[in-house]
Amino acid sequence: MSPHTPEQVNQLAAPSVAGNAAPILVVGGCGFIGCNIADSYLNDGEDVILLDNLSRPGVDQNLQWLKDHHGDRVHPVLADVRDLRSIEAAFADAKCVFHFAAQTAVTTSLAHPIDDFETNARGTLNVLEAVRKAGRNAPVIFASTNKVYGSLEGMPIIELNDRYIPADEELRAYGVSEERNLDFCTPYGCSKGVADQYVLDYAKSYGLPTAVLRMSCIYGPRQFGTEDQGWVAHFLIRALQGEPISIYGSGKQMRDILHVDDAVAAYRALLASINRVKGRAFNLGGGPHNAVSIQILLREIELLTGRALKTSHRQWRAGDQLFFVADTRLLHETLGWRAQTSWVDGLRDLHDWLVAHRFGATRTERARRLTA
């Protein structure tokens, strides 16, 4: 639950952009990755506009955190990307745009496909049009998803004791590359895929300097994970609360997970080289060195929390990939980016943040309680 009343939220989101500012605009800027991107640029002394409808539980806390740390250089705008007229003014002076606002859950897209389309597809088109109408040729960096490659059902898979791996040696060594055919699957994959392609096309059709990052699983501090999205944080939160964890399918699904600090570095690198990479899409993930199955991750969480987890198995979910590891060689070769945080160290970092900030205790204090 949000600690703020509706009146307090409205006050938090009262815009006050200076007339001479040339701010960075983060659409969905109060969300998990958005607020971390914003914090990074605010630490550099930039002014940042945060355009957000504050609909996701907990994101008002991220807004409060940014305002507490950066004061008047944080410019919140309470608006919804589905309403073009309500967002246009925020783009007037923006020198660049990061677009993270989205409906993020496959399950929600299956239940409400029209709402999913309106947010992800139409919302992205509204962002692009707002940038085009502003006339500043501002770069647009879009947060896409590995779901644009579909469920990868045609990929031959080997089942091991605690994980799935591809039969193909090159896929095992490097992961899925950008050369993989797009294969939109589920309404979520379709809506994000449409948005992905619109962003790339606006570079071709209108000359806007746009680029796309197709993300795997990003995790880290300031993430309020749920069962449907942000599963690494969700598992840790459930474990710290002593609550059971639902596993959909076998738990052998493999994912490459990436710490948010590394994701922020990739977004910044893309913007810094936008004239060189405009109109291109890149995979962003932890790569083979940060690939884990759900079962492996849960074992590590047990070590971190010092307690056995309660788990239950449920039916497979639509579009779930048995294996997805991003081949990030193109991003490395083009921009020199490489993941710096190992998944074990990153998981510990998220654990410590959750204990300190969400559960009101330091890791040492919690360890003392567990052994008392």
Cα angle for residues 358, 287, 298 (degrees, 5° grid): 45
Question: How many structural domains comprise the chain?
Answer: 1
pLDDT digits (tens, 9 = 90+) for 235-282: 999 999 999 999 999 999 999 999 999 999 999 999 999 999 999 999
pTM: 0.90
Q: What is the mean pLDDT of residues 31-35?
A: 96
Q: What's the confidence (pLDDT) of residue 103?
A: 87
Q: What's the confidence (pLDDT) of residue 107?
A: 85
Catalytic residue from among 41, 149, 164, 188: 188
Q: What's the confidence (pLDDT) of residue 313?
A: 87
Is residue 109 situated within a structural domain? yes
Is residue 11 situated within a structural domain? no
Is residue 230 situated within a structural domain? yes
CB 257, CB 251: distance < 8 Å: no
pLDDT digits (tens, 9 = 90+) for 212-225: 999 999 999 999 87
pLDDT digits (tens, 9 = 90+) for 118-133: 999 999 999 999 999 9
pLDDT band at 371 (very low <50, low <70, confident <90, very high): very low
Q: What's the confidence (pLDDT) of residue 366?
A: 43
Cβ neighbour number for residue 137 with a 10 Å cutoff: 12
Is residue 86 situated within a structural domain? no
pLDDT digits (tens, 9 = 90+) for 283-310: 999 999 999 999 999 999 999 999 899 9
Is residue 212 situated within a structural domain? yes
Is residue 359 situated within a structural domain? yes
pLDDT digits (tens, 9 = 90+) for 308-341: 999 998 888 877 889 999 999 999 999 999 999 9
pLDDT digits (tens, 9 = 90+) for 143-165: 999 999 998 988 999 999 999 99
Q: What's the confidence (pLDDT) of residue 21?
A: 62
Name the strands in the sheet holding 280-284, side by side, starting at the edge strand that comes first in the sequence.
Answer: 74-78, 48-52, 24-27, 96-99, 140-145, 210-215, 280-284
**Domain encompassing residue 142:** 102-371
Q: What's the confidence (pLDDT) of residue 10?
A: 46
Annotated catalytic residue 188: yes
pLDDT band at 228 (very low <50, low <70, confident <90, very high): low
Is residue 142 situated within a structural domain? yes
Query: Where are any strands of DSSP class E within the chain?
Result: 24-27, 48-52, 74-78, 96-99, 140-145, 157-159, 164-166, 210-215, 217-219, 245-248, 254-259, 280-284, 291-293, 311-314, 323-324
CATH number, domain at 252? 3.40.50.720
Residues recorded for the chain: 372
pLDDT digits (tens, 9 = 90+) for 84-116: 999 999 999 999 999 999 988 888 899 999 999
